Amino acid sequence: MSHASLPGHPFVHYADNGQLHVENCTVDALAAQYGTPLFVYSKGAMLAALAAYQKGFASRNAQICYAMKANSSLAVLQLFAKAGCGFDIVSGGELARVLAAGGDAAKVIFSGVGKTRTEMREALEAGVGCFNVESEAEIDVLNDVAVSMGRKAPISIRVNPNVDPKTHPYISTGLKGNKFGVAHERTLATYQRAAALPGLQVVGIDCHIGSQITEETPYLDAMDRMLDLVDSIEQAGIPIEHIDFGGGLGINYNGDTPPAADALWAKLLAKLDARGFGQRKLMIEPGRSLVGNAGLCVTEVLYLKPGEQKNFCIVDAAMNDLPRPAMYQAFHAIVPLQTAPAGADNTVYDVVGPVCESGDWIGRDRSLAVQAGERLAVLSAGAYCMSMSSNYNSRPKAAELLVDGGEARLIRQRDTMADQLRGELLL
Ligand code: LLP
């Protein structure tokens, strides 16, 4: 396996000495220095993932808004802001992070079904580029807030195109039964209503059909339905400056074969051109596909616990650090930090964390040659891991490193107990 990049993880490889590397850094050495659980991200992998989109949109009028919920650590935001990205945000907290990282508010789009008046006010004050409005009720509240501030809020309406993204039900968002967006049939009437309100300025239209999408067809279908709507909205005299196609492109977790961002967009742009929308301003909101396979989580094996039905490999990372298996039965590859010597005996384990729940598993039925005290890497941990982590069981949040070539920078200190106790009051 020497020098072989891991499939889907171009910046992770085993070097000739058998040691797992992220770019030019030895993962085991990083874990020895910074402790575990430890998230290690590759700057090169993030920028390469972004470059695929930038290549896809070269010479088009397009804005890439990184869906920061995937990984909202400040240094990651700073990296994407410097690379020219805007941001898709879903809360006042995310807005504050963008501003703290030096992001440009004018390139921010504010999505989400439950924006509060306070969040709307903060976003208007900061000057966000667009509110992606998700319901008819939200239109009235946003109009109220904007009028009370003497402002006009730029809006697009998030349409629920009712297409099946063919992904996990918890992360499908563009089907009729989902809470997101305005129903396709109600879209024109909703635009007419919004256009008549003094506090709103219609600037765009938007959809997002789901996440970890690995096929092209749902995107092509959603685009057709969106363009039909743009036609009818503009015929009603309401100009649409930009079309936002959301995010959702999947990554390779377990042999998944999503299209490359530039290949997918070549097809989508061909459709836009064929339908006469090639010059329109485009927006996209990718999250996972920019960061997911740029990160791994290093964990130490605490105990091996053989059993009659199952063998358990108990590690020091848990569902509070890596919530995706518990929440979505998600698969993350788990690999050793050092290639196993020839003839090593593998055992099949459930890899589990210390949290007191049977749902606290990281991987099931994994064949590993591992001893207590050794370390493992959980792959594809750049997206929806740290950003969804918690202090459950009063466990500290892990530390994070960003690797750039042979240099690793600490971008988040491990939680201290003082961090965890801050803000709590005894009776
Ligand atoms: N735009 C909107 C409005 C979204 O709701 C999302 C994700 C995105 C963009 C970015 O989607 P992406 O490119 O990352 O697929 N925690 C789940 C994923 C939840 C996705 C929520 N919305 C997971 O770990 O699989």
CATH number, domain with residue 300: 2.40.37.10
Ligand 1 center to residue 171 CA distance, Å?
7
Number of domains into which the chain is organized: 2
What atom of ligand 1 comes closest to residue 330's alpha carbon? 25
Q: What is the pLDDT of residue 374?
A: 98
Site to substitute for ligand 1 among 72, 89, 211, most atoms within 8 A of C-beta: 211
Site to substitute for ligand 1 among 50, 65, 69, most atoms within 8 A of C-beta: 69
What atom of ligand 1 comes closest to residue 247's alpha carbon? 13
Q: How confident is the model at residue 174 (pLDDT cuts 50, 70, 90)?
A: low
Where is the domain boundary, 231, 254, 286?
Answer: 286
| 299 in the same domain as 278 | no
| 414 in the same domain as 345 | yes
What atom of ligand 1 comes closest to residue 324's alpha carbon? 24
Helix, strand, or coil (residue 175):
coil
Taking only the tens place, the pLDDT of each residue in 390-420 is 999 999 999 999 999 999 999 999 999 999 9
First to last CA, the chain: 58
Global pTM reads 0.97
pLDDT (average), residues 287-306:
98
| 203 in the same domain as 334 | no
Q: What is the pLDDT of residue 171?
A: 65
Catalytic residues, by residue number, are 356
The answer to whether the CB of 94 falls within 8 A of the CB of 287 is no
Give CA–CA dist 287/371, Å, rounded. 35
Quick one: what percent of the chain has pLDDT higher than 70? 97
Give CA–CA dist 174/208, Å, rounded. 6
In a domain, 70, yes or no: no
| 239 in the same domain as 150 | yes
Tokens of 48: 């390469």
In a domain, 51, yes or no: no
Sequence-ordered alpha helix ranges (H) in 106-238: 117-126, 136-148, 187-195, 217-235
> 151 versus 181: which is more confidently predicted?
151
Q: What is the pLDDT of residue 3?
A: 60
Taking only the tens place, the pLDDT of each residue in 273-286 is 999 999 999 999 99
Taking only the tens place, the pLDDT of each residue in 94-124 is 999 999 999 999 999 999 999 999 999 999 9
Position 252 pLDDT exceeds 80: yes
Site to substitute for ligand 1 among 288, 322, 329, 362, most atoms within 8 A of C-beta: 288
| 120 in the same domain as 253 | yes
In a domain, 259, yes or no: yes
User: Domain of 357?
Assistant: 4-42+292-421
In a domain, 397, yes or no: yes
Taking only the tens place, the pLDDT of each residue in 319-329 is 999 999 999 99
Where is the domain boundary, 229, 261, 286?
Answer: 286
Position 187 pLDDT exceeds 50: yes
Ligand 1 center to residue 211 CA distance, Å?
5
Ligand 1 center to residue 263 CA distance, Å?
21
Helix, strand, or coil (residue 45):
helix
Strands (E), 62-218: 62-67, 86-89, 108-110, 130-133, 153-160, 182-183, 200-206
| 268 in the same domain as 146 | yes
Q: What is the mean pLDDT of the chain?
A: 95
